[in-house]
Chain A
Amino acid sequence: MKYLIVSGDSYTDNDFRSSCYPDMDVSWPKWPELLGKKLNMKVINLAQAGSGNDYIYSRLLDTIQEIPKEEIGLVIAAWSQAMRHDYQTGELNNKNSWRNNRILADGDLLYWVRRSLRIYSSFEILCQRYDLPYMQFQMIDLYKDYIDGLPPTEQEIIEDGKDFYTDRLAYPGDKEQDELNIMKLIMNYDKHLDTSKFMGWPITRTLGGWPVNRGVMGWSAVEEKPYVIDETDNHPNAAGQELIAKYIYESLDV
């Protein structure tokens, strides 16, 4: 049985806990496990809630280097937001050695987007270099939440009483101009990436693409309602995870 190796953020994390509802049993199967069953593969799920794209790629790279290539059946990267900052501490090299911040301290959104796109390119080159079957997609929006004004976290809403709309962090740049530049950056990678292996490319609705959470579960609160925990915690529920797994499976050429 070959390995299905997956990395991502909270949407993919097998140990996901709802910060809104800490006591909720959220142990329903996540999409990597569901997909692994459909593909008859052993699952290595490296995902961690809160992680950014550096974490997602680094863990895939480290794992791919450790496993004989012929034992790898499929590698999937489920990318996260560009502004998240991952870093590692300590002598161990595992999930617990990683930390993250919600926003990178240095640089600006254009740099963070560029950085993520380089990571996507490096992931593709790594898989192609070793002839590994792979797929990648933007699980949640790359930049939109930040440029629209980053809302408080679910935890901040529940514990600190912050308001989703009024307590947003104002975007510090020229939103219109910067979004236009981000479109250019994304389109510049159109010729560098194998877009047939990038589900939802070019990742943003403005360009005709989509992040998986929106493209699969729905763009509006009404559409996504059956597939998310609730309106406060919009992580996929059991039905949402099944829908994502089904969509990915059907997108694979198997």
Chain B
Amino acid sequence: MKKILIASGCSYTDNQFRSAAHPEMDTSWPKWPEIVAKELDMTCINLGRSGAGNEYIYSSLHDIILRVKDKSQIGLVIAGWSQCFRHDFQMGAMRGANEKMGFESHGLHFKKATPNIDRLLEIEDYRQPQFNVPEGAYNNGDMEKPMTIHDRLDETFIKKAAGATGWGNNRVNTKGDILGWVRKSLRTYMDFQTLCEYNNIPYMQTQMIPMYIDYLRGLMPTEQEAAMGITYEDGPNNSYDGNEKEDEQNILKIILEYDGLINHDKFLGWPISRKIGGSPMNFKVLGAAVKSESPNYISQEDGHPNKVGQELIAKSFLEKYEILNS
């Protein structure tokens, strides 16, 4: 039986990613988790979700890891961390997902209350036709694209079965400040590391996109807002209301507090900021140059990795995996 690769992250990882700047574009090219899994001959469970913050990423990984009884079935777990200021929350987490999935509960019969993740592990390849997706699994209301898009429906089933549904997010947390959010994210990275190490699960993590810098520089309109002609020129969103330089120094100090705690070998790009010798994955692998001049991004308007970009990210993980296992 194949081992499984579990990945979670934001839009860079989401295999249902759609371009807000180019809504009609077919973005169904394989994403890095699928490419890495294929190369390593593992079954892929990709929990990436556009817009997600680090709480979602950790929670989705935590929940599925807990549910795999035999942890040796897990070949690799990868967390592609997002921006620290995003705010994740869940709504109706039990009401919708499980019951639509055909895993209805009856009174207090708890064992039927959650989707049986073992079903995912028993199959050789969940993309094969013999994989029997329960009736109703497609009917989750977000199936706007036709089935021609890269295994979209099966992937939705995977997320549901993993319990990674019902999540919403805000672009910016309304409580706390950037220093508190950085600390919160770093604790989350430690929790992920501890979870994997305790269970003896092979893992890697990376800061997929910059953790804090976009917020310090003043948030730009999202790609969707830009496409709608929305600017932040007159609003409160375009400037940081703290002391940018001083707070960045404090953030760097906070990151370095974790230098002795984070396993550097398994954290690609640690210590995550270029100012202290690290780098977010997207800068390092795709290049931080003007997006229109890079062959690795979708376009100047959409800074997500295109097909080549996804392959480059996958290559980075594969090279690291080889080093870790040599």
Contacts and interface: CB of A to CB of B under 8 A. Distances in A.
Given A105-B174, A110-B90, A110-B95, A122 B62 contact: yes
Interface string A173-189: 00001001101110110
A101 interface: yes
Given A110-B93, A110-B94, A184 B110 contact: yes
Given A61-B187, A111-B93, A118-B59, A126 B194 contact: yes
A114 B93 contact: yes
B15 interface: no
Interface centre among B91, B183, B194, B254 (most CB of A within 10 A): B194
Nearest to B105: A184
A99 B177 CA distance: 11
Interface centre among A93, A125, A126, A183 (most CB of B within 10 A): A125
Interface in B181-200: 183-184, 187, 190-191, 194-195, 197-198
Nearest to A105: B174
Given A118-B59, A118-B62, A187-B110, A87 B175 contact: yes
A177 B191 CA distance: 32
A118 B63 contact: yes
A187 B112 CA distance: 12
B237 interface: no
A59 B173 CA distance: 20
A106 B168 contact: yes
B71 to A, nearest CB: 12
Given A126-B194, A129-B194, A108 B92 contact: yes
B89 A188 contact: no
Contacts of A108: 90-92
Contacts, number: 102
Contacts of B195: 122, 125
Contact of A85 (B175, B183, B184, B194): B175
Interface residues of B, number: 39
Contacts of B254: 93
Contacts of A87: 173, 175-176, 180
B160 interface: no
B179 A90 contact: yes
B25 interface: no
B62 A88 contact: no
Contacts of A96: none
A70 interface: no
B123 interface: no
Interface in B43-100: 59, 62-63, 66, 87, 89-95
B112 to A, nearest CB: 10
Contact of A89 (B91, B113, B180): B180
A106 B110 contact: no
Interface string A70-113: 00000000000000010111110100010101001111101100
Contacts of B174: 105
B183 A91 contact: no
Contacts of A128: 198
Contact of B91 (A61, A107, A129, A192): A107
Interface of B: 59, 62-63, 66, 87, 89-95, 105, 108, 110, 113-114, 166, 168, 170, 173-177, 179-180, 183-184, 187, 190-191, 194-195, 197-198, 250, 254, 261
Closest 10 CB pairs of A and B: A88-B180, A107-B89, A111-B90, A87-B176, A106-B89, A129-B198, A181-B94, A184-B113, A87-B175, A187-B110
